[in-house]
Amino acid sequence: MSENQPDGTETPRIDTTTAHNARVWNYWQGGKDNYPVDEQVGDHVAGMIPVIRDIARADRAFLSRAVRFLAEERGIRQFLDIGTGLPALENTHEIAQRIAPESRIVYVDNDPIVLSHARALLTSTAEGATDYIDADVHDPDAILRIAGDTLDFTKPVALMLLGILNFVLDDTEARSIAHRLVAALAPGSFLVLTHPTTEPELGGDLQLEAMAFWNANAKPPVTARSKDEVATYFDGLTLLDPGLVSCSRWRSEPGTETGLVPQLGAVAEKA
């Protein structure tokens, strides 16, 4: 697997004094790739909103179901996964290449600890390809340019934006990033997205205080949005059933349904 950086600079040193989302998310999912500061902030946030661990696990389970569905039922063989986070069990490339070994996957993140783990863990089948780009979601043009070394954007791609646009605080910019990335995709491509929500029927109002604590004590800062606001990321696309719902309920398998979580999820197709 190769690794690229858009500006050619050296990878920044890992900051172990401030909690970081990728590591805290790993902690909530039961992983070990985190530091004491991540556990401390993670435990405090979990004390404020106990469902946060369920959100982390539901988001990961949504990824698994979506990738499997797109690879098995829609024949998608290319995945652009932005906001990768730390490698875990059942990463995008493992699911996709198990179904279709020729699948090509590009991961994107800008956390140095994610980069260091990506070098060691994100491998590929001989038939396919797996790449990692050290880049920021705020620069979609750089992502698309470098991802084009591995992916063929004249063919369908699954664009994965799981729990990433919530770190773009400006509503207009977040919407613009989503639309710019989708615009580069060929017909038959898909947008796969999750985002924390403020919707009270999903318990979204209960996480606002926890988010305020996070923004004062960890990085990067985060925001939640309403269902109507998140729906704008899918402008011009066709939402697949069951639409934009709690990610725990998106095509959950019989007998595995879990409770609702304040994290919206959907998959939509570009005509």
Tell me which residue has tokens 């309403």. Answer: 226
pLDDT of the residue at 53: 87
Mean pLDDT of 11-19: 70
57 vs 204: CA distance, rounded Å: 17
What pLDDT, in 10s, does the model give residues 174-228?
999 999 999 999 999 999 999 999 999 999 998 899 999 989 988 889 999 999 9
Angstrom CA distances, 23 to 32, 111, 168, 227, 264, stand at 9, 9, 19, 27, 22
Higher pLDDT, 18 or 98: 98
In this structure, what DSSP letter does residue 225 have?
B
pLDDT of the residue at 120: 60
What pLDDT, in 10s, does the model give residues 17-49?
888 778 887 888 878 778 898 899 889 988 988
Higher pLDDT, 17 or 66: 66
Alpha helices by DSSP H, the chain: 21-28, 36-48, 52-73, 92-99, 112-121, 140-147, 171-183, 208-217, 227-231
Amino acid at 266: A
23 vs 20: CA distance, rounded Å: 6
Strand partners for 239: 268
Has residue 12 got a pLDDT over 80?
A: no
High-pLDDT (> 70) share of the chain, %: 93
In this structure, what DSSP letter does residue 197 have?
B
User: Whole-model pTM?
Assistant: 0.89
